[in-house]
Amino acid sequence: MLRWGLATSFDENRSGTLKANLIGVALASFFLVFMERQGSDTLRHFLLPGFCGGLTTFSAVMLLSLQSMNTQSLPIPTGVGLNYLLETVLLSLLVVAICIPVARKFIPVRS
Confidence category of residue 106, pLDDT binned at 50, 70, 90: very high
Exposure string of 20-37, with b = 16+ CB inside 10 Å and e = fewer, is: bbbbbbbbbbbbbbbbee
Assess if residue 85 is contained within a domain. yes
Residue 111 counted as domain residue = no
Indicate if the pLDDT at residue 16 is higher than 70.
Answer: yes
Give the structural domain span for 87. Answer: 2-106
End-to-end C-alpha distance for the chain, whole angstroms:
36
- Mapping DSSP onto H, E and C, the string for 63-84 reads HHHHHCCCCCCCCCCCCHHHHH
Task: Write out pLDDT tens, residues 34-79.
Answer: 988 887 778 888 888 888 888 887 777 877 777 766 554 555 555 6
pTM passes above 0.85: no
The answer to whether residue 23 sits within a structural domain is yes
Number of domains in the chain: 1
Q: Is residue 15 part of a domain?
A: yes
Handedness of CA 36, 1, 58, 89 (dihedral sign): negative
Kindly state whether residue 16 falls inside one of the protein's structural domains. yes
Mean pLDDT for all residues in the chain: 82
pLDDT for 29 equals 93
User: What value does the mean pLDDT take over residues 69-96?
Assistant: 76
